[in-house]
Amino acid sequence: MACTSEPPAGNLVTADANATAPASNVVEDGGKLVVAFGDSLYAGYGVLPQESFPADLQKALAADGIAATVHNAGVSGDTSAAGLARLAFTLDGLPRKPDLVIVGLGGNDMLRGIDPEQTRANLTAICEELKKRGIPIMLTGMLAAPNMGADYAGRFNPIYADLAKRYGATLYPFFLDGVVGTPALMLPDHIHPNPQGIDRIVGKVAPVVADALGD
């Protein structure tokens, strides 16, 4: 799940949909440029900027000997439609073409009960734009919450694997795998990971990113 600027029924802590964590456009000479393009789970809701997923991922890659700048292009509250609307602007504002764009959107669509076909269409359009620009893609997937029902989950959950196959994208099936549902790894809102949770996520995601950059 992710953070939404318009909560559905139930207790849900939300973030400013217009807020984004600070990001650097400085790319080391000879280093890779990775763009983390997503919602509050990427933006770093509830944690310090240096504890966010992009910052933590950059440190993990460096520790593995990979010189990379991970640009934080996460915006809290973004749906897949909002992400699509700002994609070109984000890419055009970078110092050069990225070596990889990691897309993490769709959680807010699910929380709002948006038709999965709309989510699929928006994520497809995002992948099409990245493909047109010759930018490698990695998708971090989401899963529908149990209270969304089996029918919704059956239409929502396959989106990421389908798109990864269609566009030859690297896939990490569930961004919150091993973290969601574990209070010690989550913020009090039970939606966003705390710094320890982000460390756990990055520990799993970083090797996948490293492989994608190697490819």
Question: What is the rounded distance in angstroms from the CA atom of residue 86 to the CA atom of residue 170?
Answer: 22
Catalytic one among 16, 99, 189, 199? 189
Can you list the positions of beta strands (E) in the chain? 32-38, 68-74, 100-104, 137-140, 170-172
How far is 24 from 13, CA to CA, in rounded Å? Answer: 27
pLDDT band at 94 (very low <50, low <70, confident <90, very high): very high
Domains in the chain and their CATH numbers?
A: 32-214 (3.40.50.1110)
Q: How far apart are CA 7 and CA 77, in angstroms?
A: 10
Determine the Cα–Cα distance for residues 73 and 205; give it in Å rounded to an integer: 17
* Annotated catalytic residue, options 39, 52, 76, 192: 192
Higher pLDDT, 123 or 26: 123
Confidence of residue 26 (pLDDT cuts 50, 70, 90): low
pLDDT digits (tens, 9 = 90+) for 5-25: 333 332 223 333 333 334 444
pLDDT in tens, 124-166: 999 999 999 999 999 999 999 999 999 999 999 999 999 999 9
CA–CA gap between residue 121 and residue 196 (Å, rounded)? 34
Considering the candidates 40, 52, 76, 80, report the single residue annotated as catalytic: 40
Contact 36, 57 (CB under 8 A): yes
Under the banding of pLDDT at 50, 70 and 90, the label for residue 111 is: very high
Whole-number Å distance between alpha carbons of 41 and 146: 20
Tokens of 159: 């989106």
Both tokens assigned to 200: 């756990």
190: annotated active-site residue:
no
Is 189 assigned a catalytic role? Answer: yes
What does the pLDDT look like over 159-201, one tens digit per residue? 999 999 999 999 999 999 999 999 999 999 999 999 999 999 9
Q: What is the spatial distance between Cα 195 and Cα 116, in angstroms, rounded to a whole number?
A: 30
Instruction: Give pLDDT, residue 27.
Output: 61
Q: Give the rounded percent of residues in the chain with a pLDDT score beyond 70.
A: 86
Rounded to two decimals, the pTM is 0.88
Phi, psi of 152 (to 5 degrees): -65, -45
Average pLDDT, whole number, for the chain? 90
